[in-house]
Amino acid sequence: MQLLVYILIYPILWIISILPFPVFYLLSDFVYFLTYHIIGYRKKVVRDNIKLALPHLSEEERLTIEKKFYSHMCDMFLEMIKTISISQKEIEKRYSFSNLDVYLELEKKNKSIALLCAHYASYEWAVSMNYHINHKGFGIYKKLANPYFDKLVKKIRSKFKSELITTKETIPTIFNNFRNKQLSVYGFASDQSPKPSAAHHWAPFMGHIVPVHTGAEMLAKRFDMNVIFLRTKKVKRGFYVASFEVLSEDAKSVPDYEITDKFLKLVENQIYEAPEFYLWTHKRWKHTKEKAQ
């Protein structure tokens, strides 16, 4: 059954991926209309999250952000499909780096790198940085239920010189690379919510005390990795500019959770600057200290 689903859907995805960009974004507008106005996909979750995170805004302002978010989310979803056929030249034009030298200087320290980013703007196209770097790139992801689509996603990433590893594969992969002196960069999207029972640290995020993922920081300490933050800004439809900020060149010496807290503050700043580009569909504030008390 899973193979049948793949066989039926893949040709549609391929056709979408080769559409000229003007037609491509017209399709995205149609998908937005269906998703937001007809289906109402996770509308209550999005509305509640925006209200929790941005209570200082008026209801009208939050509604504007909500609509802009859904439009952006549909763009981003289709842009993920676009990676099936997009050329290196095209993606480099549409996803550029303003200070790549900051990252490349960190590579010269001869350590592996933990790259932290948020589910913000285009975290999918960030994989194109592998065209410009020397370290081997690994992206940490959640394995897809359909093995055929999972294989497709891995194949697409390999086109960008990146290898996907699941959360379960992360520690063994880092350990083997460390032992074999394979300098690598590992991408962690660490802004989502862990289960409270699995959380080692709670921290303020958008005005609420929430459980946070600390795995990237702890692995950076354990395997002596440098830590860098990737910030992505959407400059206009279909175009993004990314920049880097070094979080630590000596993670072992930094007090526990300080790197994680700094990362969350940088994500906050992104959201306040342009909240419509954050992934509001996730239940990021499902667990808070207020609810736990």
CA distances from 150 to 94, 186, 285 (A): 25, 19, 28
- What integer is the mean pLDDT of 129-150? 90
- What integer is the mean pLDDT of 172-199? 92
pLDDT reading at 131 higher than 80: yes
| Higher per-residue pLDDT: 83 or 194 | 83
pLDDT reading at 40 higher than 60: yes
The residue type of 232 is T
pLDDT reading at 44 higher than 70: yes
| Higher per-residue pLDDT: 29 or 291 | 29
Residues 6 or more apart whose CB falls under 8 angstroms from that of 65 comprise 50, 54, 57, 275, 276
How sure is the predictor about 88, in pLDDT bands with cuts at 50, 70 and 90? very high
- What integer is the mean pLDDT of 108-136? 94
How sure is the predictor about 169, in pLDDT bands with cuts at 50, 70 and 90? very high
- What integer is the mean pLDDT of 111-134? 94
Contact 84, 156 (CB under 8 A): yes
The residue type of 202 is W
pLDDT at 291: 53
Please write down the HEC assignment for all residues of 126-137: HHHHHHCCCCEE
Contact 114, 228 (CB under 8 A): yes
pLDDT reading at 247 higher than 70: yes
> What is the DSSP-derived secondary structure letter of residue 120?
B
Please write down the HEC assignment for all residues of 173-221: HHHHHHHCCCCEEEEEECCCCCCHHHCCCEEEECCEEEECCCHHHHHHH
pLDDT reading at 286 higher than 70: yes
pLDDT reading at 289 higher than 80: no
pLDDT reading at 267 higher than 60: yes
Q: Count Cβ atoms below 10 Å from residue 263 Cβ, excluding itself.
A: 26
The closest alpha carbon to 81, from 158, 19, 8, 159, belongs to: 19
How sure is the predictor about 156, in pLDDT bands with cuts at 50, 70 and 90? confident
Strands 184-189 and 202-205: unpaired
pLDDT reading at 124 higher than 90: no
The closest alpha carbon to 241, from 99, 75, 69, belongs to: 99
215-224, 243-252, 282-291: the lowest-pLDDT one: 282-291
Evaluated on CA atoms 277, 93, 243, 109, the torsion sign reads positive
pLDDT reading at 155 higher than 60: yes
- What integer is the mean pLDDT of 8-28? 96
- What integer is the mean pLDDT of 65-92? 95
How sure is the predictor about 293, in pLDDT bands with cuts at 50, 70 and 90? very low
**DSSP characters over 52-112:** HH-TTS-HHHHHHHHHHHHHHHHHHHHHHHHTTT--HHHHHHHEEES-HHHHHHHHTT-S-
